[in-house]
Structure 1
């Protein structure tokens, strides 16, 4: 009887999330499932290989190809899922998430248009201690998730013109949410 309860519980948990083939866009599944994970009824594709690095806008456009957005860890539980998934891919560098203040300075919005309610910013980034001193003058409008520290950081979306002319680009790994 106990075995039946355990097996039933496992089936229910997996049935809720759904297999990759049932939740993810078909074209993503056709491309391969190695970097796909399902959580909370949503599909996530992890662009975590070095050659996958993109600028913020390029990363968002990549997600939009399959009607998605950059991952939006609006809850602590979703944030932890991303951190754990990144660890499973042996990734310890920051990834872009779907949060920015590009439309209005100091007003962070998720890529689905909703305003930020609960923040997980590191003390000297975003809403932390340095928010109104010199931080905003640096032109950092995009947000990354640091999986080592399990915090968000307000980061550059792009480099200044002189840096771009020299070949410097603000590129990062990213995760798409579908």
Structure 2
């Protein structure tokens, strides 16, 4: 009897341990899943190694657009290649991008602080013209050609915008 009881006890302990491990694993995986809903949510599209969110219907000032991106765990888009510029242009919207010379007139910087090296300005832009003579934020203007599409605009204008979130590779292989 005693022997049998001990065997049952051991077997019970092992099952409890196994159950706990499975629960931990399940919690971990469902956490990953919610996480994926946050990193691959509705309205985002993937291109190369980033996710992009285009505000389809809402229009906001540059600052408010940037705020929206930050709240989504992203930032206004930074354009690092010709391919990326073409991809964004093909979304066919007038959109804010993460480029401004509000700190120092004429010195264009991306939202991450890096200076602009390759720009895709429309001819004669940036001209800082505008009604107030103060255009410190950059947009992609859908009426131009893909590689000559940027225009400087007053940051208080209201446009659609594009957020960019860099990819985290460790999510790819888990699901």
Normalising TM by the smaller chain, what interval?
Answer: 0.5 to 0.7
Find the counterpart in structure 2 of residue 43 from structure 1: 51
Q: Which runs of 4+ in 1 moved over 4 A?
A: none
CA distance in 1, matches of 2:134, 2:78: 22
> Gaps (5+ residues) in structure 1?
1-20, 159-169
1:63-82 alignment, distance < 5 Å: 63-82=69-88
Report the TM-score, using the length of structure 2 for normalisation. Answer: 0.66
Find the counterpart in structure 1 of residue 115 from structure 2: 115
Find the counterpart in structure 1 of residue 133 from structure 2: 138
> Gaps (5+ residues) in structure 2?
1-31, 166-175
Find the counterpart in structure 2 of residue 156 from structure 1: 154
Q: Is the 8 A contact 1:25 1:66 kept in 2?
A: no
Which has the larger Rg? 2
Aligned residue pairs total 129
Report the TM-score, using the length of structure 1 for normalisation. Answer: 0.65
Give the RMSD, CA atoms, in angstroms. 2.4
1:59-98 alignment, distance < 5 Å: 59-84=65-90, 86=91, 91=92, 93-98=93-98
Provide Cα deviations, 1:121-164, integer angstroms capped at 9, x if missing partner: 111211xxxx4xx7387110000001231310000102xxxxxx
Provide Cα deviations, 1:22-60, integer angstroms capped at 9, x if missing partner: 9x9633645xx2x211112111011021xx111110000
SS of alignment partner, residue 118 of structure 2? coil
